[in-house]
Amino acid sequence: MVIKTTIQGFLTAVKGLFLTVRHLFGARKSRASLDIRDEDYFTQQNGVTTVQYPKQKMPIPEVARYQLDVEIDDCIVCDLCAKACPVDCIDIQAIKSPEVIGKTSDGSVKRLYPAKFDIDMAKCMYCGLCTVVCPTECITMTNQYDRSTQQLADLIYGFSEMSDHEVQQRKEEWTKFQAEKEAAKKKP
């Protein structure tokens, strides 16, 4: 029984060594760069298959899902993207405005200030649900995929352009507007 097991182990090792040597000599030439949309992309088996990143990069498909980007000027701060996110990686805080702030590029009226609009790409699962529900299409997926970092905090992207002073000022404006509105209701 021991002899049979020893012979079987030796044959397995020889078979593995033969496979490794075959790949070693077969990988002398570099594999040609192919577009992932080509029909024979997965059938080409000869040559080195490792991409020498960052000198070489694989072609990115048109429908790829990578880094999220927000055009904050087009955002109406509706919070639909944060509600649709299955992993809660989008953090939005809005401040109401007493009047219309402006319009987006598609003509939607803006009535909320984006005090905070952060996306934690360390949590993001790249599902694309946030891009689908956005009524103004301000949140999109880009073709950038390499965001290597040693600090997780570096993967939290803030898209709001408001400073702490501006946030405080907008909150005070809304509080003043609400107080004036209440005072007008109490007057006969």
Is residue 108 located within the same domain as residue 156?
A: yes
Cα dihedral 153, 90, 102, 167, rounded to 10, equals -50
* Integer Rg of the chain from CA: 28
**Residues in CB range of 135: below 8 A, 6 or more apart:** 76, 78, 80, 108
pLDDT, position 48: 56
Across the range 40-60, mean pLDDT stands at 69
Question: Is 108 part of a structural domain of the chain?
Answer: yes
Is residue 113 located within the same domain as residue 151?
A: yes
Question: Is 172 part of a structural domain of the chain?
Answer: no
Is the pLDDT at 59 greater than 80, yes or no? no
Distance in angstroms (rounded) separating the CA atoms of residues 55 and 154: 24
Amino acid letter at 87? V
Amino acid letter at 90? I
Q: What is this structure's pTM?
A: 0.69
